Structure formats: C-alpha cells, structure tokens
Structure 1
C-alpha cells in the first residue's frame, strides 16, 4: 500500500512559504495577506524543510489559509470562492448540465450556473488567482533549490537526489496550473523561476501555453517517479501523462490541430503503469478512498482530511450539498442529518441519461421519489432529483472523523477517464484498436454491475459523450467535454437554465472561454480581455 503524503503535518510550513512571495505573486495578481509568517534561510537549516515546502505547493490545491477552513491567504478573495477544487468544480460542472446550486445568494454561483457571468465574477477571480498562486509557489521552490543555493547551504548528496524529484514535481504542478488556465481562460500570466521577481509577467495565449506545457512535461519525465510508486497524494509520471492525454484530446479546441494519435499514445502509457479499476465504482468517492480499492484507480487526488486539513473543498461541498431537503439523508452520507438543506440537485438532462437500463447500475445514485424532475424555480429545493455519489462513509463501515469537513479525497484524475479518452480518440481517428476501445467501455459497465454491455455498432462519439456523463459526472470534466463536442455554446444542445432560460437557450460562442477577471487585468497591463466580454 502506498504511503500517504503528510500534508497535514506540514501546515506549519505550508504558508510560511507564501508571505515571502508578495512581490512574486503580485506579478501574478496575487497578494498574500498572512503577516504572521516569514520565509528565511533559517527554514532551510533543516534539510527536511525542502519536502515540507514542496508540500505547500500541493496544499494550495486543498487549503485556502492558515486560520481554519474559512480563512484565505489571498487578499480580498474569500476562502469559499478560491478553494482550487471547489472553483474548478463550479466552472466545469456547475456551468453545464450536471448540477444546480440552490443558494443563489452565494457569491458568483447564480451567474455561473445560469451562464450569465461577467469579468467581475468572484469565482472566476478565485480560479484565476489560485491557479497563479500554484505557479508562484512552484517558481519560488525552484529558485530555492538551484545548485548554487544548495551548495551555499551544504545540502547533502542524499537530499539533493530527492530534490531532483521534488523539482520535477514542482514543475509538474506548475504545468498543471497552466493547463487549467489554458482550458478555462485561454491565456495566463506567464512566469518561470528564470524571471525576475519584480518584473511584470508576459501573457501567454493558448498556443504558447500548449507548447510550454507539452515541452515541460516531456522534459521532466526522467526525473519523475514511476506510476503508482510515489506517496499517495504526490504526482508521478502518470499525472504528467494524464495532462498530456487530455491536452491532445482537446487539441482541436486549443490549437486547431488533430493530436488524437498522441492521446492514444499517452493513454497507453497510463494503462501500462499498473492501474486497475476500483472493485466498486463508489469506492472512488468514499471517505477511505485513499486506502480502499480506489487507490488502484485514482491517478491524482485533491486530498481532504476532516481533522487536520479542514476546508470547504469540492467533496465537503458536494457531500453536504447532496443531502436532500425532503430526504434529510445526511446520516447515511456521514454528515449531519439535514446537511446543507438541499443545496445541490441535478438538472434533468443528467437524470435522463440514467434510464431503465441503468436501474441497477452503481453509477446511478439518483433519488427521485416524491420529486419532480423539472426545476422551474431554482430556489425550490424540493424540486429536481438529488444524488448520493460522494459520501463521507467508509467502504469498511463507519464514517469520516468530522460531520461537516469530510475525509473524502477528490479524484481529479482517474483511470476510468483514461479508458473513455482512449475510446473517443480512437473513434476520432487517432488509431488504437476497436477491440481495446470496446473492452474499456464495457469494463466500466461491468464494474458498475450493468449487464447492458455494448457492441461495436453502439460505440459512437455520441455514446461516449453520454457515457462520460454517466461515469464522470460531478468530477469537473463536463464543460470541457461539451465544448469538445460543440455543444456548450450555440443551440445544438440546451439544458435547464442554460443561458438563464428555464428550458435553456443558445449561448454565444465566445462563452467557450471565461472572461479574464477585471482585477487581474488591473494588476497586469499586459493582460487583455477575451473576445466578446
């Protein structure tokens, strides 16, 4: 069993790292506000500090501040609008046909789920800023681990060999942040450790980001740990392969170039890495998904701990939000009985993908009794179906340690997605084999206890899009998928409350990118607004 990366034991160091970055992060439109800590040479008197500071880069995906779940280390940005996994879920899933958030007074949510966002939306500022903080943290780590710095500190040969891997991981985390910026905003403030700290950063567009990320991930391959050989919660070669595979699958969107064959290549690299599907689909979304059979499937998680890393991240939000206003089913989910009183429901388009053929499919966690499928009034929490995909329960019995802040890690990347990417890339002409593509899809159905496996004739692109929703809903993929299929904007496919129409209306094509936050442009004169906003 893989050991777990001890992010929880490094909290005292994680945000030491941040305050010293004021000038660096100002360049990236981020102003840390914690004035209680400093970073100095004293920190590195212990060689253990290098791993602890590396942990800070990972922790930025889960934590928002040093003073509890409600604190934020980003100036003028609330914790609830800047937790990485949560805002990623909002921009990728809440904006599409998968979920509805009942409490539209919560900052930014109304505009995201009705597709009426503007450059002033606080969730977009949170996404932009948190991703850039990942870049800043990685850059500073790389500056602090140069050969010259290590020589000056007389760092031992043993630690230096580890730092080689640490540096590769930092570069991977930076590349991942740029990947999400490329996908969501189409551009980013761009800086590496080579840039002067006080310089105004350049702005890279999608093509430039694509080239940088691709080259960077390939360049660090030799220094990354082999798939499934790193501590749980730390990145390895498979995480880099996953980002490349997803870039290549979406390359027509990003750079107007067919890279499906490369997607197949990197899907194969991942499947050759020793991964296997969890024995039970729901193991991927339970409180012990860091120790149950999901560890064979999850390629990279955002770690959640109900005791030592409390945060309002995606799994805390979804599990508390899954508790229905009528059902009050929180006890079974491992949170308080009433949860958050019906905060989350599903739009009927997702519900309709689970017809009678999916009655016994373990991916179908829909509760529909006593509820209409339609949501004509978003504030009416008694309408629309609810689901129970995520839980704070353990596969072995019992629950997470806390009834609000869950122990359930968010599976950012997992093997099932690789299977479906392979099948789609194959159908789009990327090569591979029909036999393997069909086997992957049917393996997911078999794992879900669904006897309705498909034949070659049923393996179509439209089928894959629907199957991705059935397998991967509420995992922050849907917006990207719909854009790739030309169904997010325009009127080819409408869903409940798309474009602020109760039955959905067409969206302009420029909505395939989010606007650059106004505050971000004010901080960097090189940033310009995306077309249409």
Structure 2
C-alpha cells in the first residue's frame, strides 16, 4: 500500500469508533451507532479500525467524545487545538527557548512559554485528554483482537495473523501515549484492555511503575511487530519500539532515579544495524514529499492536504511562523503566531543550515512576547513544497492544509542518543563511534564548510546544543532541557522564561505538568502532582 493509500484509509476510518477519552470513562465502548459487532465482523473492518487508531494521531475532533460533554467546552475551543501533535508541540516546544506565541486569547496557549500554567490551563488539559482518547481507542482495539474474539467471529488463518500484527501496533501506540503522559505528567491514571468496561474509576500509577509497564510492553513487542522497514509507511515496526526504548532509557534517571545508559546504547545499535542512514539533505526532512525519506524516518504521523485536513499538526508548524510569506511556506499565508528566542538562534553558526530562520521584517531579540509579531525570528523548516520546489502533491485549492509528515523518531535522534549515552557512562559503544555519528550530523548541517567533519565535540554541552539544532521543533526540547538540568533552573535562561524579558529560574514543580483539575474532580482516586 502506497503512502497516499494509507492516508486515505485513515481518513475513511475517522467515522468509525469515535470514543470517549475522559479518564473517568476510559472503558466506554463506541458512542456512535456503529457497534463493535459490526466494525469487527471482518478482517477489513479490523484494518479500518486500526487505521482509526493511527488516524486519531493526525485528525482532530472533540477529545471528550459524545460521552463527555462536561469537558468539551473547557478543553476544545477550536478544532485545531484537539490535534495531538499541536497540543504536544505546545507543551514540548513553547515551554522552551525554541518558540514563543504571539497571542493570548482563550484558544491560545496562555502562559505556556512564561511557565505559569496551572491545573486549569486548557492547553495542558487538551494534551492530557487527547492522549487518553488515543489510549482508549487502542485499548478497545486490543480487546477486540483477542484470540477469543477472533475465533467467535470466524476469523482464522492469515487474516487472524494480520490482525494479531495490528494488535501489536495498537499496543505500541498505547505505549507511546503512556510515555507521553509519563514524561509530561509523571503520575497519570492508568487503565488497560484488562480492565473491565464500566468498571471502577482508574487508579493513579506512579512514574516508576509506569516506566516498568511501558518497558515490558515494548520488549514483548520486539518479537510481535514486523521487522524494521518491512511495514507500510506510517505504521509501527520493531524499530519504532526500539526507538522509544532508547529514548526512555536515555531519560530513565529522570523517570525512575536509576540510569540506563547502557540499555539506551543497546537499542540505538539495534536501529543503526537495521540499515537506516541519514537522509543526505537536511532541508528535505520537513517538506511535502518527505514520505520519501524512508532512509532516515523510523515512525511518522502522516498528514495530507486532501485526506487528513485539520488546523493542527504540521499545518500549524507551516502556517504558524511569523512573517513567512505564502510563496515561501507553500500555503495560503502565515498566522503570525510563532517566533523564536534569540538565545535559541544563537545556538546556530553562519555555516549551519538547520535553523532555516526567517529574518525579513523580524527583529532578532524577543523584547516583547505578546501581541508584537516582529520580535523574534521565525522559521521555514516546515514548507509545503516538494524537494524540487513544486507544489505539495495533494494541495487543497485554498492552500490551507499541508502534506508534511511528522517524524516522531528518526535516525538523527538515535545518533545523538548514542553519543550522549556513551558520554554518560553507558557500555556497548565507543567514543570513536559516538564522535563519528556527531560528525556525520555536522557534515550534513554544514554542506558548504570544508571543515565540517571536524566541528563536533564529544562533550555534554555540545550535545545539548546539537540536539537543539538537529531536532529543532521536533517535540524533544523540553525533555532534553530537563535531563540537562536547564529547564526550570538558572543554568540556562531565555527570553520570557518565568515571564521576564531576560528569563529567570522558576519553581521546580514545572518540570512536570499538573493533573487537570477537571479530572481530579471526576476521579477521587487521583492526587495532584506536588506544588500544584
């Protein structure tokens, strides 16, 4: 199945299995008129259902679902803000030196860049409930894919084998969303397919225990997912599980108090050994035909201007940057929302092509955060054009929506994880190999610099800065700054951190987000995170 065809299947499946995600109702069955007996009666129905689970990563809608009208007015003020990636990007990038947001109306991420959010912040709650919506979809698919259900529906042989692979993918998607919640919220409610439908309210799980659950799931999936680079583009395989494990292990000391750098190296080696290579041109990573980048991309969220239209995802990252004209972005124009702090801009030297900063009409310094659209450079990293400069393949007539897929995992991150894990004392790697990976990234980033192969330094300060340069706007900056002790402390300050022009340290409670107040009210089993 081609790239376009899987997007079409995802879009078609969007009408199926729209379920509640409020955590007090995590076990609800579909609330529309298409019940599980009809959806899961054939192998084709299962394929459509797993496409719905994937599709919920790229499509928008009310995260609360028909069964949760109590949360929808407060969390989803416009449909674009219910897209997973847009909400996730808000919390991972807008909280850091990577980006500031111009506006502060009720549909904007109020207080996120300034680090003054609370348990009633709608942006924080939006991501939280969207992740649970995705977990709920995955849990239902996993239940419906049991051997008992397959047998009772007369699905056997190769059809049953295919569905078991889909089930493994649903488990991976659930594990990924629980990682998101563990990373951002630390101690979230927890429910799986083993919990009875309509059972007791979900109980809270501690971060260390959730780490163990995700780790166990991913290790089990190593033998159940398809081999690396053998699945359809946009679907999970073994390498996706390895990539998530490597990321978890790199941050294990934050999550559990116990470092696991050797394990991080182990899984980086598995991915590198599977045949991935760096895509030769960095500026082609975030274009409208980036589905061709299967050399580097490990797992993606697929977007399409015709089949997955929404105002979130890479549409936000293409329209959002301030000042970028339509002929540059390949869209109908810019929203003048996103600007970049001068401290982040300063990470890039003149030879480095990765910033792709838009400077025309923009001041470098973010003297003002709100309402002033010209304070701070922006970026053309995400462009709705092909590598030849042609219009996006599935451009809608109004040029509103984009074709740019978003890599949740790619080889560039794996090289950086390997190098950092080696530096932090992990075994199974070498300094020489780590430095070679860093130099490969440097050579790609500086194609016109004859000394690029000698630029890299095998030091932790170099790596945190290089992660910023290489993974710019790819939803990792907050997690990285926390791991390096720079997120809430005065070790690194940027414009408007803590709400001041030059930046200031903030309370360490902001290293994790609060459980949304609306869920604390709904579920008496939950205890708020410290400090909120």
The bucket for the TM-score relative to the shorter chain is over 0.9
| 1:264 and 1:422 in contact (8 A); partners too | yes
| 1:15 and 1:37 in contact (8 A); partners too | no
Shift of 1:135: 1.2
Q: Which residue of 1 aligns with 2:34?
A: 38
Q: Which residue of 2 aligns with 1:354?
A: 348
| 1:30 and 1:75 in contact (8 A); partners too | no
Q: Which residue of 1 aligns with 2:462?
A: 463
Q: Which residue of 2 aligns with 1:101?
A: 101
- TM-score, normalised with respect to structure 1: 0.92
Paired residue for 2:403, among 404, 407, 413?
Answer: 407
1:389-400 aligned at under 5 Å gives the runs 389-400=381-392
| 1:4 and 1:233 in contact (8 A); partners too | no
**Residues 226 and 468 (structure 1), Cα distance of their counterparts in 2 relative to 1, 3 Å cut:** same
Shift of 1:158: 1.3
1:22-171 aligned at under 5 Å gives the runs 22=20, 25-28=21-24, 37-65=33-61, 75-76=72-73, 77-78=75-76, 79-171=79-171
- Cα distance in 2, alignment partners of residues 219 and 33 from structure 1: 27
In the alignment, does 2:209 pair up with 1:208? Answer: yes
**Residues 397 and 372 (structure 1), Cα distance of their counterparts in 2 relative to 1, 3 Å cut:** closer
- Pick which of 5-14 and 460-469 moved more: 5-14
Residues 54-98 of structure 1, C-alpha deviations (whole Å, 9 max, x = no match): 11111111112399xxxx997333233321111110100000001
Please list every run of 5 or more consecutive structure 2 residues that lacks an aligned counterpart in the other structure.
none
**Residues 514 and 276 (structure 1), Cα distance of their counterparts in 2 relative to 1, 3 Å cut:** same
Q: Which residue of 2 aligns with 1:420?
A: 416
Shift of 1:116: 0.6
1:342-491 aligned at under 5 Å gives the runs 342-356=336-350, 358=351, 361-378=352-369, 379-400=371-392, 401-402=395-396, 403-431=399-427, 432-448=429-445, 449=447, 450-453=449-452, 458-491=457-490
Please list every run of 5 or more consecutive structure 1 residues that lacks an aligned counterpart in the other structure.
none
**Residues 10 and 329 (structure 1), Cα distance of their counterparts in 2 relative to 1, 3 Å cut:** closer
- Cα distance in 1, alignment partners of residues 455 and 366 from structure 2: 36
- Cα distance in 1, alignment partners of residues 372 and 456 from structure 2: 42
Q: Which residue of 1 aligns with 2:294?
A: 295
**Residues 352 and 57 (structure 1), Cα distance of their counterparts in 2 relative to 1, 3 Å cut:** same
Shift of 1:295: 1.9
- Cα distance in 2, alignment partners of residues 454 and 280 from structure 1: 16
- Cα distance in 1, alignment partners of residues 489 and 140 from structure 2: 42
**Residues 229 and 2 (structure 1), Cα distance of their counterparts in 2 relative to 1, 3 Å cut:** farther
**Residues 420 and 113 (structure 1), Cα distance of their counterparts in 2 relative to 1, 3 Å cut:** same
| 1:15 and 1:65 in contact (8 A); partners too | no
Shift of 1:455: 5.1
Residues 268-287 of structure 1, C-alpha deviations (whole Å, 9 max, x = no match): 01111111111211211000
In the alignment, does 2:300 pair up with 1:305? Answer: no
- Cα distance in 2, alignment partners of residues 187 and 54 from structure 1: 28
Shift of 1:523: 2.0
| 2:300 and 2:405 in contact (8 A); partners too | yes
Root-mean-square deviation (CA, aligned residues, Å) is 2.3
In the alignment, does 2:519 pair up with 1:520? Answer: yes
**Residues 457 and 419 (structure 1), Cα distance of their counterparts in 2 relative to 1, 3 Å cut:** closer
- Cα distance in 2, alignment partners of residues 397 and 348 from structure 1: 29
- TM-score, normalised with respect to structure 2: 0.92
Secondary structure in 1 matching 2:408: strand
- Cα distance in 2, alignment partners of residues 526 and 457 from structure 1: 49
Residues 420-451 of structure 1, C-alpha deviations (whole Å, 9 max, x = no match): 01111111111211111111111111112144
Residues 111-165 of structure 1, C-alpha deviations (whole Å, 9 max, x = no match): 1111110101111111111111121111111111112211111113111111111
**Residues 35 and 166 (structure 1), Cα distance of their counterparts in 2 relative to 1, 3 Å cut:** closer
**Residues 2 and 419 (structure 1), Cα distance of their counterparts in 2 relative to 1, 3 Å cut:** farther
Shift of 1:205: 1.2
Shift of 1:188: 1.8
Secondary structure in 2 matching 1:493: coil
| 1:47 and 1:159 in contact (8 A); partners too | yes
- Cα distance in 2, alignment partners of residues 66 and 104 from structure 1: 22
Shift of 1:28: 4.7
In the alignment, does 2:282 pair up with 1:278? Answer: no
